[in-house]
Amino acid sequence: MDKNGLLRNLPKIDELLKEDKLNYALNTSSRIIILEAARKVIDCYRGKLLKEEIKDYSKEEVIEEILKEINKKSLSNLRKVINATGVIIHTNLGRSILCKEAVKNVMNVCESYSNLEYNLEKGSRGTRYEHIEQLITKLTGAEAALVVNNNAAAVMLTLNTLCNDKEAIVSRGELVEIGGSFRVPDVMRFSGAKLVDVGTTNRTHLYDYENYINENTGVLLKVHTSNFKILGFTESVSLEEMAALGDKYNIPVMEDIGSGTLIDFSKYGLSYEPTVQASVKNGIDVVTFSGDKMLGGPQVGIIVGKQKYIDEMKKNQLTRALRIDKITLAALEGTLKMYLDESLAVEKIPTLYMILSDEKIHEKRAYELSERLKKELNDNWRIRVDKDYSMVGGGSMPEEKINTYVVKIKNSVYKPVQLEEILRKNETPIIIRISKDEIIMDLRTIYDKDFEIIVEALKDK
């Protein structure tokens, strides 16, 4: 049949919908999705015929392509991916994975009404913050706490409350960019605080802060440079010195600790990362930190500190605009409860487990995945296990390299970039690394339950 005949014979949409396979699809998918998929596939065949990219087709082939398109359109835009990169807190891939207790809490409040702003003891209106404030203060040693939707919001709210139209003194070496082109100086200016940067990039002394204190000083600010390090000829002011200076002039001292952690990683053989408890103990008046990085919870910004300052923030009109919802609140409570027993937190919170679990565990798992791949794949594949290192990610512990084991894969037909695209466009996307002529899968960030998905994605290639 010639091209014009093939074009005329392209099946009509209403006829296709009468076919058993598409008629069955109407029971599981929206009619709109099915119609859009059918039109897209028919248009695609028409275009290929006009360009003479295909010489023939069958109705069965068209129906199968429509079913594939229906399946693709039915998938959520935001969906599960397998992180095989070895970057544990991967910003592009959703940062921290929630622990089971957090997920259980979320399901509990999503499937029913909740006492979000209702005090069950008093039988009257309550506040959403009371559900976790006591838990946070117990874990950190602070007098009070408040939670907003991310750490940039926490910094902005704190500065707007304590330093609006006043000066915030900060070391020049701590004016960091925190990712996504968001910079501490920009957040400070937007809050209404007037930035006064002191010292130099590599050295700031106590007198640098003190020399700039005046009647319009609102806050002395410390920013933990969690996403980079300055080495060599350096000098910075300790938390104790900053707290003492604040007391001397009756000026609140604020610290943006960034990633924020409640455990001392140096106990487990990793680099020391400042803890929230240490900042509170050293006399810092207000501390802000993230919930979805080293803490291993949902995206939030947590503010802890002196009662009088937290109370002022709760009255700020910005607090309502920046508040978290019931789902986030439930996830945060579930995460924080794990920290009541540090050993439980290290075992049950995925972020902590991935960072701290022994490399030998992942060596065994790497060989298991390797053997499953070798068993299922054809002779075009070369698969081997090798030592490597994982990264914490999320702008946290930039110098830390965590020993791990990876599966390295190459194919005699497909180039690494082609394999990367195949895996990325899999129904459950698999995100990998490429090094030289191999793709790399790091077992530290892969779950055992995902092995079968990985094998199926590479079969028949």
What are the pLDDT digits (tens) for 179-217?
555 677 778 778 888 888 888 877 888 888 898 999 999
Q: Are 275 and 263 in contact (CB under 8 A)?
A: yes
Average pLDDT of the residues in 242-265: 93
Quick check: helix, strand or coil at residue 204?
coil
Residue-level pLDDT at 231: 58
Length of the chain: 461
Within 13 A of 248's CA, how many CA atoms are on the CB side?
A: 12
Specify the higher pLDDT residue, 359 or 188: 359
Distance CA 374, CA 408 (A): 12
Q: Please check whether residue 181 is in contact with residue 132, taking contact to mean a CB–CB distance below 8 angstroms.
A: no
**What are 223-238's pLDDT values in tens digits?**
887 555 665 566 788 8
| Nearest CA-CA partner of 323 in 306, 295, 300 | 300
CA distance 366 to 383: 11
Question: Does 454 have pLDDT greater than 80?
Answer: yes
The CATH code belonging to domain 82-91+357-458 is 3.90.1150.180
Give me the residue spans of the domains in the chain.
Answer: 3-74, 82-91+357-458, 100-348
Q: What is the pLDDT of residue 232?
A: 58
Count CB atoms within 10 A of the CB of residue 9. Answer: 10
For the chain, give the percent of residues with pLDDT over 90: 64
Token couple for 194: 């007037």
**Residue 438, Cα to own-chain centre: how many angstroms?**
27
Name the CATH code of domain 100-348 (choices 3.40.50.300, 3.40.50.2300, 1.50.10.20, 3.40.640.10): 3.40.640.10
DSSP H/E element including 175: none
The pLDDT confidence band at residue 298, using thresholds 50, 70 and 90, is: very high
In this prediction, residue 229 carries a pLDDT of: 62
Q: Which of 60-69, 333-342, 367-376, 431-440 has the lowest mean pLDDT?
A: 60-69
